[in-house]
Structure 1
Amino acid sequence: MEQAVGVSLVALTAAQAIWYRLGLQAPFAYDRDQVFQEHPDWRVTHNEADGPDITNVLIYGASTSVALYAAHMVRLSADSSGKAIRLYGVASEARWESLKTKPYGYNAPVEYRDLRWSGRIRELTGGVGIHYAFDCISEGTSVERICSTPARNGKVAIARSREGRAWKAPNISVKPSYGAVWEGLGEEVEYHGFTVRRSPTARGFAVAFYAWLNGRMDSALSPAPIRLMPGGLESVVQDDFQLLVAGGMEERRAIRTEPWMRPVSAEKLVYGI
């Protein structure tokens, strides 16, 4: 149960970015033509976006729980398509070894504190660039930097409100796609000052995703690591909200001495009720 609670919305968030918006091949069927009818600007085929031999994929915030699912989904896409994928990640060096292991299999993680990380990605791809990029954090200058990495016809997905600084990042040549996990409800949702409109295609994708996941979690998708927090709902404000501060990732440092209050990385916080 503790593992299951950290799956549903987090995994759907990753699936919406990797398979629904970026369009990497999913291991299940859904109506892609209907998606293109609703979002014609997403109509970039795999052949147009991919390289001739290897598809380059980049995930920023690679040690977040969303990114752990996203990386696994990238590997599932490689299995489904039979096409070689080289996966790059931007994360703390302390997480590199675990990110290189299965089911994530990052080929070349880079340090997010390195102000030259976007240039480093360009170098690692031999100047080709990234075909599909997902910014799981989308704060500060991350969107501007990740939008400097794509190859020709490369695609970028981000995870923040269009009203926020991330969407208004200056000097970007690629228009990133934005989505909210609640699109999967198929209803209109107010979020961060704007309306997430009702999307039958997003609803259809969510239904197909959960149908694929249902009953095959052990074989289909590895659960992200969890941190079981003490207390119940009464502890969320005093503990959880302090760990997940409103500021940026750099502000998420040790603020108390209890072991469950260590900074959050590569795990999902879980409470029992």
Structure 2
Amino acid sequence: MRALVTAPGNTATIQDIPVPEPGANEIRIKVHSVALNPVDALYTFNPPAPPGRVVGSDIAGTVDKLGPGVTLWRVGDRVASFLQGATSGNERPGGFAEYAVVEADLAIAIPKEVSFDQAATVPLCSLTAAQALFIRLKIKPPFPSPFTYVPESAQSPTILIYSAMTSLGLFVSELSKLLRTSAGNPYRIFATASPKNLDKLLQLGVEKVFDYRDPEWPRKVRAASGGIHYAVDCISEGDSTANISQTYKEGGGTIACIRKSTWSKDNVREDVIGIYSSVWVGLGKDIIYNNELIPADPSWREFTVEFYRWLSSSTDRFPISPNPVRLMPGGLGRIVADGFTLLGSAKVIDRPMDANTHGSEPWMKPISGEKLVYRA
């Protein structure tokens, strides 16, 4: 089969490799669509292991073969899932290929009104958002969870989504509008984004949007909200976490950070803590990530299973909306040259935003509020 595989020179190329066989409690997926995440590009250009690893995380397609013991699925079912790909120091499978194998209970049923392209945007980033809100920030989710929660004491809790028009930010917004206190009150949602995205975020239930380029935005958020109780830093670069900490209520709290070491600890309020965890913990395997061993955590894997079961609960549509799709031309063979070029391998804030930086083709414009999707 054709697959995107890491190659010498810190890149990846299309190679012919054997079709994988599903083991016990696994399914093989005939991949239709793949969605790109910054981590896919980052570890292709900065590989943590020798060449020869299949790249890619988010996939959608049809069940092609059942491994022994699988009863959840039938051949032909439409599913989405995510794999770790070439991001770890230890061997982990990737998904940017014609076929991929995943554990049966870590797949999501695609509702009939959702396309493969849309479904491919969901698995990794929506799980990251759910982990941020419902594990790290300890907010009660709208689905069963292995974690216990202290009931929310505030009558109208406030949550800030920093960089709400990223793929992650959109999923945090989608999940946040479902949040309710034990008394049934909704959370008040605030966000930072470019002013051009104001209407989109207001439609998602955000109470007020602040321009992230305005140096006064932390003061304005605190004034409008009365003080933030929870926040998700969807960029976690430079002074983003420190600025978010200035919006918190008296007594401080916790910020869920999406990256570990790219944000400065300087000027973070003493009563506010930024916490990080890798989405890969949700796969339930020991992982060598960023040169550190992350041990398997069965409770995080159980959380993934419950979350994906909840996403699969409707036959018509997901309970949260997929990301908007930018369908990229050229299939797997153009991912590195086009998609990874747009994503880059450095900080999001360092991406060039000039419309013609990467050429005049419409699919090469800077990324804003969209997920890059290719068809396998």
Coarse TM-score class (shorter-chain normalised): 0.7 to 0.9
User: 1:267, CA displacement in angstroms?
Assistant: 1.2
CA contact (8 A) 2:161 2:191 kept: yes
Q: Structure 1, residues 219-252: CA drift from partner, whole Å, max 9, x if none?
A: 5111111110001222111111221122332524
Following superposition, the deviation at residue 23 of structure 1 comes to 1.9
Whichever residue aligns with residue 146 of structure 2, its letter is: D
Deviation for aligned residue 1:170:
4.3
In the alignment, structure 1 residue 190 sits paired with structure 2 residue 305: no
RMSD between aligned residues: 1.9
1:110-121 superposed matches below 5 A: 110-121=210-221
Taking structure 1 as reference, are residues 118 and 165 closer, same or farther at Cα in structure 2, changes over 3 Å only? same
Q: CA deviation at 1:78?
A: 2.7
Alignment of 1:2 with 2:117, yes or no, is: yes
**1:177 counterpart residue number:** 275
Task: Select which of 261, 267, 271 maps to 2:370.
Answer: 267
Equivalent residue number for residue 96 of structure 1: 198
Per the alignment, in what secondary structure is the counterpart of residue 241 of structure 2?
A: helix
Deviation of 1:192 after TM superposition, in Å, equals 2.8
The answer to whether 1:47 aligns with 2:152 is yes
**Higher Cα Rg, which structure:** 2
Q: Tell me the secondary structure at the aligned position of residue 54 of structure 1.
A: coil
Query: Residue 165 in 1 paired to residue 244 in 2?
Result: no
Q: Distance in 2 between matches of 1:109 and 1:12?
A: 24
Q: Distance in 2 between matches of 1:13 and 1:188?
A: 18
Is the Cα contact below 8 Å between 1:58 and 1:130 reproduced in 2?
yes
Opposite residue 118 of structure 1, the aligned amino acid is P
Mapped partners of 2:284, 2:329: distance in 1: 34
Aligned residues, how many? 254
Bigger relative contact order (CA 8 A; separation at least 6):
1
**Which amino acid is 2:189 matched to?**
L
TM superposition shift of 1:167: 6.0
Provide the residue aligned with 1:136 in structure 2: 234
Structure 2 partner of 1:236: 335
Pairing of 1:69-80 with structure 2 (within 5 A): 69-78=171-180
Q: 1:12, 1:81 → 2: CA distance?
A: 26
CA contact (8 A) 1:244 1:252 kept: no
CA distance in 1, matches of 2:128, 2:180: 19
Distance 1:2 1:248 in 2: 24
Pick which of 13-22 and 80-89 moved more.
80-89
CA deviation string 1:168-223 (max 9, x = no partner) = 44443211221111111111222234333322221111111011111427151111
CA, structure 1 residues 74+171, in 2 after alignment: closer, same or farther (shift >3 Å)? Answer: closer
CA contact (8 A) 2:152 2:181 kept: no
Say which of 233, 249, 253 aligns to 2:349: 249
Decide whether aligned partners of structure 1 residues 8 and 118 sit closer, same or farther in structure 2, where only a CA change above 3 A counts.
same
Given the alignment, which residue of 136, 143, 146 partners 1:28? 143
Q: Please give the secondary structure, in 2, of the residue aligned with 1:190.
A: strand
The CA distance in 1 between the partners of 2:266 and 2:304, in whole Å, is 29
Deviates more, 1:54-63 or 1:21-30: 21-30
Equivalent-residue separation in structure 2 for 1:193 and 1:177 (angstroms):
19
Normalised by the length of structure 2, the TM-score is 0.64
Structure 1 residues 196-235: aligned runs within 5 Å: 196-216=294-314, 218-235=317-334
Q: What is the alpha-carbon distance in structure 2 between the residues aligned to residue 9 and residue 47 of structure 1?
A: 27
Whether the 8 Å contact between 1:184 and 1:202 is mirrored in structure 2 is yes
8 Å contact 2:162–2:191 — kept in the other structure?
Answer: yes
Aligned to 2:99: none
Contact 1:27–1:80 at 8 Å: present in 2 too? no
Structure 1 residues 129 and 136, CA gap change in structure 2 (3 angstroms): same
Q: Does 1:123 align with 2:223?
A: yes
* Distance change in 2, residues 1:190/1:148 (3 Å): farther
Q: Between 10-19 and 23-32, report the one with greater CA deviation.
A: 23-32
Q: Is the CA contact (8 Å cut-off) linking 1:89 and 1:106 kept in structure 2?
A: yes
1 or 2, which has the higher helix percentage?
1
Query: Does structure 1 conserve the Cα–Cα contact (< 8 Å) formed by 2:342 and 2:367?
Result: yes
Q: CA deviation at 1:156?
A: 1.2
Percent of aligned positions that are identical: 38
SS in 2 for 1:175: strand
In 1, Cα distance between equivalents of 2:372 and 2:281: 23
Structure 2 partner of 1:65: 167
Between stretches 212-221 and 228-237, larger displacement belongs to 212-221
